[in-house]
Amino acid sequence: MTTDAPAPPAAPQIPSHPGVPDLPVADGQLLVGGVPLRRLAERVGSTPFFAYDRRRITDRVAEVRAALGDVRLGYAVKANPMPAVVQHLSGLVDALDVASAHEMHTALDTGTDPDRISFAGPGKTPQEIRSAVAAGVLIELESETEARRVVAAGEDLGVTPRVAVRVNPDFAVRGSGMRMSGGPQQFGVDAEQVPDLLAWLGATGADVTGFHVFAGSQNLDAELIAHAQRATADLVVALAEHAPGPVRYVNLGGGLGIPYFPKDRPVDLARVGESLASVVADRLAPALPDADVHLELGRYLVGEAGYYVTRVIDRKVSRGRTYLVVDGGMHHQLAASGNLGQVIRRNYPVLLGDRMTPGGVDGGPADGAQPATVVGCLCTPLDLLADDVPLPADAEPGDLVVVLQAGAYGLTASPTAFLGHPAPAEVLV
């Protein structure tokens, strides 16, 4: 590991937001990748910024591998497409899943073999499809039209396209923060239409490798995840009878969530692993002996490794309420403002990263904590990062507010152009 700071002394663990792992702290400073926050801010040279902790990503992949056994692990690049993050993950996972030509180029630039890159997502343009066929990545078909375009591009380029069919199952998965399967969907091919599509594909000579099902995002319930994986395996085994050749690829999706709010609890990864092992052993392996089973995770691999760091510009008291006005906001970290698909706005875990005191996060009232409302610099009441949370009473301009759980669907899921402020920096530490 390389940092520009001396190794910290054994860091005391500060209890943080319930459900959120304890964070390393030294001398009142949050450590990111071992670097004290104020020093990191100097190194970056500007605020706001996103910082991603390389070590925490590495550790998370190791935990997932230990729990999930030898399924193939993919990283869904859209969760965090920073090239350095994708490069780092490319050395840790078995596959990269991309959802645009731009993400595909980021993935190819890491040196990852096109055999280990898959391209999913609705509305791939004809040019994106040509690029994907030319690159030789696996194309996950979202519709019949896409299938026709892929085959035509293959003929035109003299390349045999590699495809899998993304299936919209005939069941929905409960427990997802964002549901992406079951009923009518823009994602995937309805399960009942898959046999006809397979018959057509088989006649074209395309390399039909298997199936992909992605049920939904941000699921914290191991039982529901396990249930979805079993139902998906059953569906894939049934559809495999219609495949033009042996099924070699079964992608069961991902969607494991991370805790954001006080009542959220981390996914019981061991339980997901046990269930997956039994689904593979008693359903998939016997029926589809040639198939590699894949999981593709985005948020779960990177979300907790990321911090959004923004500086207090102003402190004002308005009719008894204390506001900390920061130089960042919803234009960089939309989700924390509650405007990225949330029905009810709740506070993301937020702390003052340069004034960490034991018990000082909303794990409990610390000595000297006082309620404050953290707002961004945009001229709209939507730009609210934390509503009435306990923060050190002496918080003042210059302090560094940190939004935790900011490693996934942060910067690239935010309206950066809104109000014309500069884009934040990103660092992988």
Ligand X SMILES: *Cc1c(COP(=O)(O)O)cnc(C)c1O
Q: At what angle do helices 222-240 and 269-279 cross, to 10 degrees?
A: 20
Residue 214 or residue 308: which is nearer to ligand X going by CB?
Answer: 214
Q: How far is the CB of 194 from ligand X (least distance, A)?
A: 17
Contact 351, 391 (CB under 8 A): yes
Quote the least distance from Cβ 180 to ligand X, whole Å: 7
**Residue type at 82?**
M
| Letter string b/e over residues 208-234, b meaning 16 or more CB atoms within 10 A of that residue's CB | bbbbbbbbbbbbbbbebbbbbbbbbbb
Of 53 and 296, which CB lies nearer to ligand X in the complex structure?
296
Query: Which residue has the closest beta carbon to ligand X?
Result: 298
The C-alpha R_g of the chain, in whole angstroms, comes to: 23
Q: Which residues bind ligand X (CB under 6 A)?
A: 76, 78-79, 97, 99, 120, 214, 217-218, 253-255, 296-300, 408
Residue owning tokens 């040509």: 130
Nearer to ligand X, 103 or 362 (CB): 103
Residue 78: CB minimum distance to ligand X, A: 5
> Smallest distance from the beta carbon of 173 to ligand X, in angstroms?
12
Nearest one of 201, 290, 294 to 254, comparing CA atoms: 294
Could you give the C-alpha distances from 421 to 12, 331, 376, 412, in angstroms and in order? 37, 8, 11, 15
Residue 299 vs 311, nearer CB to ligand X: 299
Kindly state the smallest distance separating residue 16's Cβ from ligand X, in Å.
22
Distance CA 201, CA 247 (A): 14
DSSP H helical ranges for 69-206: 83-90, 101-109, 126-135, 144-157, 194-204
Q: Output 97 or 221, the one with its CB closest to ligand X.
A: 97
Identity of the residue, 191 or 372, whose beta carbon is nearer to ligand X in the bound complex: 191
Q: Which is nearer to ligand X, 81 or 298 (CB)?
A: 298
Q: Position of tokens 């934040």?
A: 424
Which of the following is catalytic: 1, 317, 379, 417? 379
Q: Determine the distance from the C-alpha atom of residue 333 to the mean position of all C-alpha atoms in its chain, rounded to a whole number.
A: 14
Active-site residue 379, yes or no? Answer: yes
For residue 28, the minimal CB distance to ligand X (Å) is 33
**Minimum Å distance from CB 338 to ligand X?**
18
CA angle centred on 40, ends 34 and 46, rounded to 5°: 160
Q: Which one-letter amino acid corresponds to residue 370?
A: Q
| SS3 at position 171 | coil
What helix, strand, coil percent values describe the chain, rounded to 5? Answer: 30, 25, 40
Q: Quick one: 152 or 413, whose CB is closer to ligand X?
A: 413
Instruction: Centre a 10 Å sphere on the Cβ of residue 314 and count the other Cβ atoms it contains.
Output: 13
Least distance (Å) from ligand X to the CB of residue 207? 20
Neighbours of 340 (CB within 10 A): 16
Distance from C-alpha of 333 to C-alpha of 421, rounded to nearest angstrom: 13
- Token output for 399: 């302090």
Catalytic annotation, residues: 379
